[in-house]
Structure 1
Amino acid sequence: MTNIQAIFFDLDDTLLDRNKAVDKMFLIILDKYYDEITDGEKNKMLKRFKDYDSRAYGQNDKAFVLEAFFNEFPPIERIQRNALQKFWNEHFPMCFSINENVLHLVNAIKEQVKVAIITNGSTQRQYAKISNTNLHCCFDSIFISEEVGISKPDKRIFEFALNKLNVKPEATLFVGDDLEKDIGGCQNANVKGIWFNPNKHSNDTKIKPFAEIHSLNQLINYVKVP
């Protein structure tokens, strides 16, 4: 294999655990907008909140999530729709935390090759997540779809990053959890895609990753880290 010059990373559900952040966001909503809720009702509400969030995943407009949730489970006070997006933007990025092992790993890799983040989403929210978790200190470059004007799986966002970092596609790896957007997208740009699959889901697509890992620590196998 060609000596690796760079490793690009997806953000949500790769570097950061988005599922845990959604759980924290739900608790903030419960605390602010609802009186006492039974455990049974709370579990039902969390499942529906995650359903709505999943439908809006990758979209910049998150007011839909809260509006649909509040329509099904009326809060103690009604919130105007124009305030919902602001509420999400202010609170959701703060729900993310970073595993210190991830920071150490990325810093170790950065000593050997260039590292960057390529993520879909709102510029404001994604930068807030990155800053709040100190990831901004670890990466040479950060590419956010709204800012670049191109979203994964479009191969042009990968090509844009390659050009900015002046690295060759055949000497670059991309690590992400989404087979279509991350792996299929990067491989269309001739970048080797490593599927981050910690929950060991089956691959029911026609996309064949260059490699599959269940822990980010396995990336050490692809770079010479002392």
Structure 2
Amino acid sequence: MTEYKYIFFDLDRTLWDFNKNSEASLMQLFRDYQLQASFGSFLFFKSRYTYHNGKLWNAYYQKRISKEELMYRRFYLTLKESGIDDLVLAKEIAQDFIDISPLQTITFPNTHKTLDYLIEKGYILSIITNGFNEVQYRKLKNAKLDTYFTNIITSEDAEANKPHPKIFEYAFDVSGAKADNSIMVGDDLKTDIAGAKKVEMDQIYFNPNKSKHSENPSFEISDLLSITQIL
């Protein structure tokens, strides 16, 4: 069996519960800006935001829009659907979201217990994330995750997004790791798992919902604590 020394973790939807934390942040904005009168329900507001956010992230990954445009346009397009064509308001809400979101601290079950185990065993832990610097660092600190990780590798610093090999190669350079003594833990088959495969690094696919798929990761888990049975 491979002797691993370095463990790279994705952050959103792997350790930090992106869906629950994002919903809490959006709910606060929905209330603060009294959007019920325009959208009728929070669920409708959230569904339209989620739709536009997903499309714009894809455009950002393809370098068709900038980071700044992504941040405000997802709210501008959402508001516009309800008849609010107000760019200034959209940018104000976008900034509030950036401020509020990293304050949320919900992590997946057994996150801290698993990380404690890995540190005790002497593994060197790092983060590889496609998120933005000013948001991801605050998420880690507020959720009390920052002390576990020797390196935080972001797509901004690496100038490449997962699954591009460049971000993984950058992570190896920063950490001193190599593909043959490292393993990637992540929830996304297209970015985390496929990206690690491209650089011939083993992978642990975190699949808490036990979603069906046709990929073949090195390992698959539905509970983070199962990592202790692998490493």
What is the TM-score when the length of structure 1 is the normalising length? 0.87
- Between Structure 1 and Structure 2, the one with more helix by share is 2
Aligned to 2:219: 211
Note closer, same or farther for the CA distance 1:102–1:174 as it changes in structure 2 (3 Å cut): same
The amino acid across from 2:166 in the alignment is R
Aligned to 2:190: 180
The amino acid across from 2:229 in the alignment is N
Alpha-carbon distance in structure 2 between the residues aligned to 1:38 and 1:72: 9
Aligned to 1:221: 229
| Contact 1:67–1:84 under 8 Å retained in 2 | no
Note closer, same or farther for the CA distance 1:78–1:160 as it changes in structure 2 (3 Å cut): closer
SS in 2 for 1:193: strand
SS in 2 for 1:62: helix
The amino acid across from 1:72 in the alignment is E
Unaligned 5+ runs, structure 2: 61-66
SS in 2 for 1:14: coil
Q: 1:106 aligns with which of 115, 118, 138?
A: 115
Superposed, 1:22-171 pairs within 5 Å as 22-34=22-34, 41-57=41-57, 59=60, 60=67, 61-74=70-83, 79-99=88-108, 101-112=110-121, 113-171=123-181
| Contact 2:128–2:154 under 8 Å retained in 1 | yes
1:53 Cα shift?
2.6
SS in 1 for 2:212: coil
Note closer, same or farther for the CA distance 1:65–1:4 as it changes in structure 2 (3 Å cut): same
The count of corresponding residues between Structure 1 and Structure 2 is: 220
Unaligned 5+ runs, structure 1: none
1:134 Cα shift?
1.4
Moved more, 129-138 or 30-39: 30-39
The percent identity for this pair of structures is 27
The amino acid across from 1:109 in the alignment is L
Deviations 1:23-52 (A, max 9, x none): 112211211111656997333222222222
Deviations 1:41-68 (A, max 9, x none): 3332222222223323474322121111
Deviations 1:114-143 (A, max 9, x none): 111000021111111111111111111110
Does 1:195 pair with 2:205?
yes
Note closer, same or farther for the CA distance 1:26–1:74 as it changes in structure 2 (3 Å cut): farther
Note closer, same or farther for the CA distance 1:142–1:78 as it changes in structure 2 (3 Å cut): closer
| Contact 1:194–1:209 under 8 Å retained in 2 | yes
Alpha-carbon distance in structure 1 between the residues aligned to 2:48 and 2:90: 19
SS in 1 for 2:203: strand
Note closer, same or farther for the CA distance 1:95–1:67 as it changes in structure 2 (3 Å cut): farther
Alpha-carbon distance in structure 1 between the residues aligned to 2:170 and 2:87: 44
Runs of 4+ deviating beyond 6 Å: none
SS in 2 for 1:202: coil
1:95 Cα shift?
3.0
